């Protein structure tokens, strides 16, 4: 058995140096991860965080799936940035995903760069980081890895799977492929297929990374460098899609960074320029450029209907999972229309589905922010699902 | 659809009694979920709702009800045939764009159809229009003509004739006036004159 939970070395490092606890589990050659591209990948290490306590019959587990550039640090201080968890408002004692009642697991996705095997991991065949030798992964592969993790933890049926954006894609994949293992599902601000516009924005980001001479065809690890500028531009472009025009107006409008006068140069005259540059440069400190390529690719390939005769409804046929689909009025990246396509498909199979559109001017990022209406509706949905699951 | 104060909704408890316990129900135009909550608590019903106003939907989901934002005219086409034991349209039909098409969809997706509506044939309404020459305003139809969501009002007689056209059989008709409820599965002249509201249980002929 190639599984070794809580490797002492990682545990020691996370507690002593990083002042947080995240756990890892490694699946060896006897349990390869079977990827959509045909590769059997091993060994695969998965990093995850958990909050709360698993009950005796293991019926109170909630899987939280992270978005593109996030990680397993959903409800704890991030060891690298020192910032609070990305879903701290949603997860915790007395929060909608109440850690007094539920056992919450948040794994870093396959292809990621926060402890789970990805392109920056050492390839045992060469002794060097995989780089572009890492196989191309899909959303279904991410979910397959999570299935392995839950099997390892002995959790047969999840009380709930929840996630926004790419986390919502994983949530849909879970509900579609493993319906018997998902009691309730909360896909937020997401899509059942990546649109041409979504793919287009991702391609801009990937091209920016690959155009950076420091990228070295993905082998920058060997050159002791990183494509910082390319990845920063990718992040800047992506970040615009996460915000709404009105939030940009309210936050920055045309305000100048210093003084009242243009500099008549190309420095960051405008506050929005300075903000984006900061977003770009702080991102490259915590994220691997190749991971960005692989994970955006996985999102681009996502089309849940494609594997079901081009009918999204077929992807959910016979489902008994309770769904709550959430979208935001000002999200133009994964707009309400995309989320309503999921609702239409669920209605077509007479699934138990709720759908709320939250009034927010914060754009796509709203799902990560303090949105009282999102919290209260999800609280209602989760409480009622817990009652039906017999959880107190 | 406008949110409906409960004190004006005596049709809801009557509707709840028409629904068999433990059945599957779709409430179209469910407002803030008053009927769905009654059905869940008293009849152990597996209930779903469709509501046009997002405020109504969010209120329902916060109460733990399975409700989606949607439109009776648009969204019923999504559901498969026989998806529900009962499809309910309570005081909503008069606000739909195409009541005939809505009823046809309800007939398709539900084994039973329940509809309640304000009766435009009530004598007070006839007096206001016929003698005073004004658009009627009553307790059940309180809005001004220029400020009402009700664009397809009908009388009990009109409704029964539409059901006949759509091959819907009246299983039960309940005529509400004042505090009284009269059963009439084939309502006549006096029902149409004295019922303020009507509730019909229908099924495919």
Q: How many other CB atoms sit within 10 Å of the CB of residue A292?
A: 28
pLDDT for A250 equals 95
pLDDT for A16 equals 40
CB–CB of A352 and B64 under 8 A? no
pLDDT for A8 equals 38
pLDDT exceeds cutoff 50 at B104: yes
- What is the mean predicted confidence (pLDDT) over A74-79? 93
Please report, rounded to a whole number, the percentage of residues in chain B having pLDDT higher than 90: 88
What pLDDT digit, counting tens, does each position of B13-62 carry?
Answer: 999 999 999 999 999 999 999 999 999 999 999 999 999 998 899 999 99
CB–CB of B68 and A343 under 8 A? yes
pLDDT for A17 equals 40
CB–CB of A376 and B62 under 8 A? yes
Cis peptide before A43 (omega within 30 of 0): yes
Sheet order of strands, A182-188 included:
A23-27, A44-51, A103-107, A61-65, A158-164, A182-188, A322-328, A352-358
Q: Which of A132-146, A314-328, B96-110, B137-151 has the lowest mean pLDDT?
A: B137-151
CB–CB of B62 and A377 under 8 A? yes
- What is the mean predicted confidence (pLDDT) over B75-101? 95
According to the per-residue pLDDT averaged within each range, which of A21-25, A318-322, B70-74 is highest? A318-322
DSSP B93-147: GGGSS-HHHHHHHHHHHEEEEEEEEEBTT-HHHHHHHHTS-S----SSS-S-GGG
pLDDT for A20 equals 52
Please report, rounded to a whole number, the percentage of residues in chain A having pLDDT higher than 70: 95
ipTM score for this prediction:
0.85
Question: If contacts are CB pairs under 8 Å, which of residues 149-188 in chain B contact chain A?
Answer: none
Best A343, A354, A389 member to test B by mutation, with max B CBs in 10 Å, is A354
Q: Which residues on chain B are in Cβ contact (under 8 Å) with A358?
A: 58
pLDDT for A392 equals 78
pLDDT for B54 equals 85
pLDDT band with cut points at 50, 70 and 90 for residue A5: very low
Separation of CA B9 from chain center: 11
Judge whether A391 is closer than 8 Å to chain B, CB to CB. no
pLDDT exceeds cutoff 50 at B191: yes
Judge whether B57 is closer than 8 Å to chain A, CB to CB. yes
> How far apart are alpha carbons A313 and A341 in whole angstroms?
10
Residues 6 or more apart whose Cβ sits within 8 Å of residue A222: A128, A129, A131, A216
CB–CB of A348 and B80 under 8 A? yes
pLDDT exceeds cutoff 50 at B123: yes
Mean pLDDT of chain B: 93
What pLDDT digit, counting tens, does each position of A269-298 carry?
Answer: 999 999 999 999 999 999 999 999 999 999
- What is the mean predicted confidence (pLDDT) over A16-44? 87
CB–CB of A347 and B68 under 8 A? yes
Best B24, B25, B69 member to test A by mutation, with max A CBs in 10 Å, is B69
User: How far does the CA of residue B47 sit from the closest CA of chain A (Å)?
Assistant: 9
Mean pLDDT of chain A: 93
pLDDT for A80 equals 85
Give, in order, the Cα–Cα distances in Å from B42 to each of A67, B13, B17, B49: 41, 10, 9, 17
Would you say domain B6-204 falls under CATH 3.30.43.10? no
Q: Which residues on chain B are in Cβ contact (under 8 Å) with A322?
A: 66
- What is the mean predicted confidence (pLDDT) over A189-204? 97
More confidently predicted of A64 and A10: A64
Q: Which residues on chain A are in Cβ contact (under 8 Å) with B57?
A: 354-357
pLDDT exceeds cutoff 50 at A215: yes
pLDDT for B10 equals 79
Best B37, B49, B53, B62 member to test A by mutation, with max A CBs in 10 Å, is B62
Q: Long-range contacts made by residues B121-129, C-beta under 8 angstroms, separation at least 24?
A: B121/B155, B121/B156, B121/B157, B121/B158, B121/B192, B121/B193, B121/B195, B122/B177, B122/B193, B122/B194, B122/B195, B122/B196, B123/B193, B123/B194, B126/B193
pLDDT band with cut points at 50, 70 and 90 for residue A67: very high
> How far apart are alpha carbons B185 and B174 in whole angstroms?
8
Give the start-to-end residue ranges of the domains of chain B: 6-204
Residues of A known to be catalytic: 165, 331, 364
pLDDT for B11 equals 85
Query: Left (φ > 0), alpha (ψ -120 to 50) or beta: where does A19 sit?
Result: left
User: How far does the CA of residue B41 sit from the closest CA of chain A (Å)?
Assistant: 13
pLDDT exceeds cutoff 70 at A2: no
Q: Which residues on chain B are in Cβ contact (under 8 Å) with A359?
A: 54
Asked if A214 contacts A220 with a C-beta cutoff of 8 angstroms, the reply is yes
pLDDT band with cut points at 50, 70 and 90 for residue A203: very high
- What is the mean predicted confidence (pLDDT) over B116-140? 95
- What is the mean predicted confidence (pLDDT) over B138-159? 95
**Phi, psi (degrees; rounded to nearest 5) at A193:** -150, 140
- Out of A343, A355, A381, closest to residue B64 by CB: A381
Bridge partners for A325 per DSSP: A355
- What is the mean predicted confidence (pLDDT) over A367-385? 95
- What is the mean predicted confidence (pLDDT) over A161-169? 98
pLDDT band with cut points at 50, 70 and 90 for residue B1: very low
pLDDT for A21 equals 64
pLDDT for A81 equals 87
CB–CB of A380 and B61 under 8 A? yes
Q: Which residues on chain A are in Cβ contact (under 8 Å) with B63?
A: 380, 384
pLDDT for A202 equals 98
pLDDT exceeds cutoff 50 at A13: no
pLDDT for B8 equals 59
Domains, chain A, ordered by start: 8-193+307-389 (3.40.50.1820), 198-297 (1.10.1740.110)
């Amino acid at each position: 058995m190639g599984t070794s939970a809580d490797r002492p070395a990682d545990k020691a490092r996370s507690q002593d140096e990083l002042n947080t606890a995240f756990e890892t589990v490694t699946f060896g050659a006897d349990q390869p991860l079977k990827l959509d591209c045909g590769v059997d990948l091993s060994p695969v290490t998965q990093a995850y965080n958990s909050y709360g306590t698993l009950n005796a019959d293991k019926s109170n587990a909630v899987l939280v799936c992270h978005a593109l550039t996030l990680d397993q640090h959903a409800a704890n201080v991030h060891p690298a940035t020192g910032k609070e968890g990305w879903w701290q408002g949603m997860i915790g004692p007395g929060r909608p995903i109440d850690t007094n009642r539920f056992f919450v697991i948040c794994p870093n996705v396959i292809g990621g760069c926060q402890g789970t095997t990805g392109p920056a991991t050492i390839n045992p065949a060469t002794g060097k980081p995989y780089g572009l030798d890492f196989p191309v992964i899909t959303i279904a592969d991410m979910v397959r890895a999570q299935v392995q993790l839950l099997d390892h933890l002995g959790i047969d049926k999840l009380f709930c799977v929840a996630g926004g954006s790419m986390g919502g894609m994983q949530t849909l994949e879970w509900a579609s492929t493993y319906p018997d293992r998902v009691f309730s599902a909360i896909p937020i601000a997401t899509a059942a297929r990546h649109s041409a516009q979504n793919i287009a924005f991702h391609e801009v980001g990937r091209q920016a990374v690959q155009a950076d001479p420091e990228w070295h065809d993905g082998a920058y690890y060997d050159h002791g460098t990183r494509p910082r500028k390319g990845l920063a531009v990718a992040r800047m472009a992506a970040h615009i899609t996460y915000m709404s025009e009105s939030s940009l107006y309210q936050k920055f409008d045309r305000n100048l960074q210093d003084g009242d006068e243009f500099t008549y140069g190309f420095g960051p005259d405008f506050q929005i320029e300075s903000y984006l540059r900061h977003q770009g440069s702080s991102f490259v400190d915590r994220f691997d450029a190749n991971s960005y390529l692989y994970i955006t690719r996985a999102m681009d390939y996502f089309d849940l209907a494609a594997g079901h005769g081009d009918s999204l409804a077929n992807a959910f046929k016979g489902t008994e999972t309770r769904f709550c689909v959430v979208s935001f009025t000002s999200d133009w990246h994964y707009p309400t229309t995309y989320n309503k396509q999921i609702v239409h498909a669920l209605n077509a199979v007479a699934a138990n589905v709720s759908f709320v559109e939250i009034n927010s001017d914060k754009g796509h990022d709203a799902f990560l922010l303090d949105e009282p209406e999102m919290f209260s509706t999800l609280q209602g949905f989760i409480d009622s699902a817990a009652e039906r699951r017999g959880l107190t | 659809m406008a949110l409906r104060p409960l004190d004006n909704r005596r049709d809801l408890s009557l509707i709840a009694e028409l629904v068999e316990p433990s059945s599957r129900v779709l409430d179209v135009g469910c407002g803030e979920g008053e009927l769905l909550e009654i059905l869940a608590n008293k009849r152990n019903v597996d209930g779903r709702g469709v509501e046009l106003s997002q405020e109504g939907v969010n209120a329902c989901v916060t109460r733990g009800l399975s409700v989606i934002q949607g439109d009776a005219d648009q969204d019923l086409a999504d559901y498969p045939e026989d998806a529900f034991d009962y499809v309910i349209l309570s005081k909503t039909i008069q606000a739909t764009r195409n009541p005939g098409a809505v009823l046809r969809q309800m007939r398709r997706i539900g084994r039973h159809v329940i509809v309640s509506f304000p009766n435009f044939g009530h004598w007070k309404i006839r007096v206001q229009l016929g003698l005073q020459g004004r658009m009627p305003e009553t307790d059940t139809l309180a809005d001004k003509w220029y400020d009402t969501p009700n664009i397809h009002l009908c009388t009990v007689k009109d409704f029964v004739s539409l059901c006949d056209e759509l091959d819907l059989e009246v299983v039960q008709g309940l005529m509400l006036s004042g505090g009284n409820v009269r059963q009439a599965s084939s309502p006549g002249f006096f029902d149409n004159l004295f019922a303020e509201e009507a509730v019909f249980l229908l099924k495919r002929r």
